[in-house]
Structures are given as structure tokens and as C-alpha cells.
Amino acid sequence: MEAKAPALTRSAANERAPNRQDRYRERAAKAEKTRKQVCFLELLRFGFSALEAAGHEDVELPVKTLYRWTYEDPEFDKAWDKAIEQGKTYERRITGPVLEREADRRAVDGVEEPDYYQGEVVGFTRKYSDGLLTTRLKAVLPEKYRESAQVGVSVDARTMNVYVIDSETRDLLSRVKERTGKLVEP
């Protein structure tokens, strides 16, 4: 006599296999996770920090969760690294000129700072930044405003000065030497 397996009742079948609602919830959770990852990576590409991007209204996740996802998903980890690099490029491309304009404004136009007397503002003084102006000149016109280096070298108890000069200064010194017949130190 052959033993038959008992027929599964509807409730037993539901316990063994996930129902449609569970599958739907899993798919929806996965879609939401993917959406949040995409938003997070896009914010990183725009120069946001991981903390700022995680707190953004489109993501709203603890940074800890995002870091856990990098361990669980190597593709997300690689995408995060790539987004960070793109964010640095974006930041340099977009905020770099803004910061340069602000440095130029502070160096040339100055900034008004309040003057106080007995705790009350009595006037304003315009302050200029010579340091910013010097730095900007060195960045914009390095051939003209670069600092030349001078190195002292001791050879046979005599000191020899070595100058590091650019090609424009070298040409100028050679023309002076041709006209005067003397070697001029920079």
C-alpha cells in the first residue's frame, strides 16, 4: 500500500510560499532603495558631502546605512567613488570661479568692517586684502609675479649664488649683457 502525502490546505500553502503582497513589498522596497541610491550618487556628483547628501529630502537616510550598502553592493561602492571624483571636478569647475571672483572683490574692492565705540557702530572702514591680491597675481600672471628662488652653494670656500629664473628674465639678462658687456645678477 502506497502512502499518499497529505494535500496542502490553502493556509499551509500560504505559509510556505510568499504571497503577492510580500513580493510586492520586496519589489517596492528594492525600487525605493535603488531610487535613493541614484539620488544620493547624483548629489555627490554635484559636490555634496556624504553627510549632506544622506540628509537631503530625496534620500533621508543615515550615513551608516549608505556605508553598509557599499559593503553589500560592490557596484554601489564603485559608483560612490566615481561620483565623489565627479563631484570634485564639478566643485572645481563651478565653485572655483565663484571663489576667485570673491577673492578678487575682497582684494580690489575691499570689505567694509564696522567701527565700534562704546558697543555701538559709529562708522565703517574699508579693508583690502593685500595677501589675496598677491596670491591672485601669482596665479594669473606667474611669469611676472613668481618668486624666484636663490640658493647659496659653497664651492672651494667661495660662495656661488644660483638663481632659478624663467625664460623671459633670462632673455632680458642676455640683452643687458649684450648691450653693456657686463653680467647682471637678477
Q: Are 41 and 85 in contact (CB under 8 A)?
A: no
Q: Are 149 and 164 in contact (CB under 8 A)?
A: yes
Q: Which three cell numbers stand for residue 67?
A: 556605508
Q: What is the pTM of this model?
A: 0.46
Q: Which of 48, 57, 155 is nearest to 91 (CA)?
A: 48
Per-position DSSP letters for 90-107, written without gaps between them: HHHHHHHHHHHHHHHHHH
- Please report the pLDDT score of residue 150 as a whole number: 52
- Please report the pLDDT score of residue 149 as a whole number: 53
pLDDT tens over the chain, length 186 residues: 566 655 555 555 555 556 778 888 889 989 999 999 999 999 988 888 888 889 888 899 998 999 999 999 999 999 999 998 888 877 677 677 777 888 888 888 888 999 999 999 999 999 888 888 888 888 777 777 777 655 554 555 555 555 656 666 777 667 767 766 655 555
Q: Are 183 and 177 in contact (CB under 8 A)?
A: yes
Q: Are 152 and 161 in contact (CB under 8 A)?
A: yes
- Please report the pLDDT score of residue 122 as a whole number: 94
